[in-house]
Amino acid sequence: MSVPSSAPERPVAHVYDAAYAGVPNWDIGRPQQAFVRLLDAGLVRSPVLDVGCGTGELSLFLARHGHDVLGIDLSMTAIRQAKEKARWRRVAADFLVWDALNVSRFREANLSFRTIVDSAMLHILGDRERDRFVDGLGDVLASGGLYCVLGDARRTEREIYGITPGEIRDRFRRADGWEVLFALPTVFERRWSSNRAYFIGVQRL
């Protein structure tokens, strides 16, 4: 796959490299159940972009079920582990060290996606980062394509961490070419705990 270079710009990349030197709490060694149900429902279409893919469990799961998948993450350590898993398991998935805030640059390689999956990436971004990310999604998600995000439920209106269905509807407006198809309460599993979460699907019109 030929794509333009996108070295991580944000200092938080080093924080995640340090986390992936061990086994972070959010890396449960399998995909979150919300995405398993998404696949079972027949709603995943190739090509797939997995933003904030970590060590690649969701990417590898979708690729093992026949999908053309590209996983991206800020952390070089996580991407190295994802590539090693793909090699050990003999699963054909591609992985790149890439800042999800720069997804619009995939247009330079004439790449677009029919499904974009986000397992707990959006919910950690700041307000302006979310704006930038959503703008980039609009550049690379094909018409009729689906963006599916799983994130911790926001605990209070004053917090930026987490997501709510209302926020997603505000950011993905029909007037801008989006339609929220579903917003389901669920849980985000961690190795030693779980949090209230939402699983939300947004279609590019």
pLDDT tens, residue by residue, 16-60: 888 888 888 899 999 999 999 999 999 999 999 999 999 999 999
Q: Which residues contact 156 (CB under 8 A, 6 or more apart)?
A: none
Statement: residue 162 has pLDDT above 90 = yes
Distance in angstroms (rounded) separating the CA atoms of residues 91 and 36: 17
> What is the reported pLDDT for 127?
95
Enter the tokens of residue 92.
């054909």
Distance in angstroms (rounded) separating the CA atoms of residues 32 and 183: 16
Ordered by where they begin, the domains of the chain are 12-204 (3.40.50.150)
Report angle CA 91, 106, 59 to the nearest 5 degrees. Answer: 25
What is the CB neighbour count within 10 angstroms for residue 30? Answer: 13
122-150 residues labelled b (16+ CB within 10 A) or e (exposed)? bbebeeeebebbbebbeebbeeebbbbbb
Statement: residue 161 has pLDDT above 90 = yes
| pTM tops 0.85, yes or no | yes
- Range 166-191 average pLDDT: 97
**What length is written for the chain?**
205
